[in-house]
Structure 1
């Protein structure tokens, strides 16, 4: 039975409290996995990994599943939409049930903030945060750092602008927490009602945000249009979208990033998604070796 200390060390709940050296070790191990010619290397045979998604996901869930299968794990996929959660079962009881059945690690995505941290104190297997509310999304930030490091060679001294709905973004939070540890200058650009007072980074205009080494666009949550947080998709694009015209102001060495899913023609013009300066699809590709490293770490 793992001790509370080792469980904490092997779990990945967020990047806010993870030290720089540990992040570097994950990035380095991901580079190792990316360099392997054989797609499947069963280094964790007989280990059961449960993907427990209490919130819808496509990219993150499939990225984790590919990573798990490449490592040789036995993969269990759980979807809240077709589970006893729909009958009123609590998230805790669901996770505790899977733990009692013998899983070795749980990958969890959920909406409520704080539930994952509480679960980690009660569940006796390592847990990996696949996104919890607007708190953190650590593996997304890790693949973002990996993408930046791969392109620029090192992170220190870079300027990264994160543009969009910062208030509701777990991606913005995890990136800020991680990038700051590497001496990266992080700036936010957001409409006033999408800014977050709890994050310690300067807010700049869209024009200043474009003068960065990395321009990271966040997904516009179009469902918020119905609640009046944004006037319209067209209005958002006009003031905060990365349009073809705005992209002409990017430095030649700068790269465009986006955590996806993408609203083409809203936060970023269609022509820019696969532009030579875009790293959007390479980000998705880099998610697999990053998650291989994180899962291996949890089971080591």
Structure 2
């Protein structure tokens, strides 16, 4: 693994290697990196969870983090992403985490620049470390993904989380179902009635309604969407006793999920965020050690 831009970069064996290394870090394992490194996190879209999680992971690995603020960078003067990366390469950056609004932004970089590239999210395309932390959270809960029924519910067509998980969860033996309004299913084969999957799901993974990608054309009021496709208190009561709730965040309270359920006993939403640090530590260390 020289870079990580898509879950298709990883075999099932590599995915599980990341998960097991993340678990070792959770248990207190010390980084095995044999030299010092410098990284930067280039986020051209808003982020709290992913950006801060990566920075925490980097600091736990004793990596020097060079601050980068897209709002004060030369990209505002017309500098291309490639040229920005070449500047950072020239001053000695070893690895970069990049989030960008353009799908597949990394295609102009891989094989052309020296720093490691880790995709922190590209448009509506990929979010590999989110998928890995989701997998880790499910594995942590059940000890396996084999035959687990995972229902991903919400704004599917605009979700890079849905796309990344679609590739990975199936390869690990899970049964993945998508649930959404017909106008938001895109290329996915989706179920259009949420109530059909409640009782049979081991994991219900809610997705944020991404209003910023709808060009102002959203056909639901918040109340109507919550009633039709939200995880309401009434729906939660019908879930299997052992099933869990997940959400990549940020969440819209009382839109895709009832506010009372965000921290309920079966919610693993904040556990996902905690797990993200260990997963990102594992990804960074495995890539950098591969280059030593």
- Indicate the TM-score class for this superposition, using the shorter chain for normalisation: over 0.9
Partner secondary structure for residue 120 of structure 1: coil
Say which SS state the counterpart of residue 10 (structure 1) adopts: coil
Preserved contact between residue 94 and residue 115 of structure 2 (Cα < 8 Å)? yes
**Aligned-partner Cα distance in 1 for 2:285–2:215:** 42
What are structure 2's unaligned runs of at least 5 residues?
none
Over 3 Å counting, the alpha-carbon distance change for 1:116 and 1:262 in structure 2 is same
Aligned with residue 149 of structure 2, among 152, 155, 159: 159
Aligned to 1:279: 268
Runs (4+) of structure 1 moved beyond 6 Å? Answer: none
Is residue 255 of structure 2 the alignment partner of residue 263 of structure 1? no
Aligned match for 2:191, one of 191, 197, 203: 203
Aligned length: 288
Question: Which residue matches 2:49?
Answer: 59
Q: By how many angstroms is 1:56 displaced?
A: 1.4
CA contact under 8 A between 2:182 and 2:192: conserved in structure 1?
Answer: no
Q: Secondary structure of the residue that 1:24 maps to in structure 2? A: helix
Aligned to 1:244: 233
CA contact (8 A) 1:44 1:73 kept: no
Aligned to 2:243: 254
- Counterparts in 2 of 1:64 and 1:44: CA distance versus 1, 3 Å: farther
Partner SS state of residue 6, structure 2: coil
Structure 1 match to 2:21: 29
Residue of structure 2 equivalent to 1:293: 282
Q: Which whole-Å deviations, capped at 9, do the CAs of 1:66-120 have from their partners, x for residues lacking one?
A: 0000000000132211211112111111111111111111111101012212211
For 1:250-293, what per-residue CA distance to the aligned partner results, in whole angstroms no more than 9, with x for missing partners?
01100000000010111000000001000000000000000000
Distance 1:117 1:43 in 2: 28
Task: Give the SS at the match of 2:158.
Answer: coil
1:170 correspondence with 2:160: yes
- Does the 8 Å CA contact 2:211/2:218 hold for their aligned counterparts? no
Q: Distance in 1 between matches of 2:79 and 2:255?
A: 38
**Which residue of structure 2 lines up, in the alignment, with residue 3 of structure 1?**
none
Q: Which runs of 5 or more residues in structure 1 are unaligned?
A: 1-8
In 1, Cα distance between the equivalents of 2:205 and 2:88?
Answer: 37
Q: How many Å separate the matches in 2 of 1:118 and 1:235?
A: 42
CA RMSD of aligned residues (A): 1.6
Q: 1:214 aligned to 179, 200, 203, which one?
A: 203
Which of 119, 122, 126 matches 1:132?
122
Equivalent residue runs for 1:225-240 within 5 Å: 227-240=216-229
Q: Distance in 2 between matches of 1:153 and 1:202?
A: 27
Tell me if structure 1 keeps the 8 A contact 2:201–2:240: yes
With structure 2 as the length reference, what TM-score do the two structures score? 0.94
Give the CA deviation at 1:37.
Answer: 7.2
